[in-house]
Amino acid sequence: MQWGFEVSIKHSLLVLLAEGDRYGYELRQEFEGRTGGVWPLNVGQVYTTLERLERDGLVTREESDSGRQVRYRLADAGRAEVQQWWSSPVPVQKVGRDDVALKIALAASTPGVDVLAVIHAQRRAVMASLQDLNRAKRTGGDEAWELVADALIFRAEAEVRWLDHTETRLAQRGPATASGGREMPHTPDAGAPEAVTASSEGAQR
C-alpha cells in the first residue's frame, strides 16, 4: 500500500545515522520499518540521497577493504542539521500542491465535465484507502507506525469532508455548475459512503 505523503528522505536518513553508523541497505530497512512500509524507498533513492549528503559535508563514508560495501557516518555538520530540523516546524508553503483540489477546480470549470461524478470517484478511492489504513492499523505494529497511520487516516477523513462540502456547494448552484457549465442530468452515487466515522473508528483505538 502507498499513500501520497511528502516526507524528507534527507532528514530521515540523517536522523537514523544520528543513532549510529549504517550501511545503505540498513538505512532503507530501518526507514521502512519505522513508517510501516507506507513510503517504500528503493535502493537508488537511498544512495542518491547519501551521495548528496556526502557532497554537502553532512555524512562521511567508510569503505570496506573490498570496496564493495560502504558504511555511512554522520558528520558534525549533519548532527547540527538534525538538531535544526527537530527545532524547526515544516513551513506550510512546502506542504505541496493539492492535486485533488486542482482536479476538482478544473472539472468545475470545464464545460461538459460531470464534476459530481469526479467527486464521487475520488470519495470512493479515499474511503477505500481509509478502510485499508484501519485494517492495517488493527493488525498491530509499533507506536511509530500507529502514529503514521493516525496521521494518514485523519488527512483522508479531512479530504472526505472537503469533498462532501464541495459537492453540497456545487449542487446548490444548480446542474449547470455541477456539470462544468453545461446542463447534465446527474445520477446519485449509490455506492458512495454516507459517513466517514464508521470507516475511521480504528483511528480512535
Cell of 17: 545515522
Give 16-47 as a DSSP string.
Answer: HHHT--EEHHHHHHHHHHHTTTSS---HHHHH
**What's the grid cell of residue 117?**
461524478
Give the Cα separation of 103 and 41 in Å (integer): 27
152-185: per-residue pLDDT in tens?
899 999 999 999 999 999 888 766 555 554 443 4
Report pLDDT digits (tens) over 38-97: 778 888 999 999 999 999 999 999 987 666 789 999 999 999 999 998 888 776 655 556
DSSP H or E run through 84: helix 76-87
Distance from C-alpha of 141 to C-alpha of 87, rounded to nearest angstrom: 27
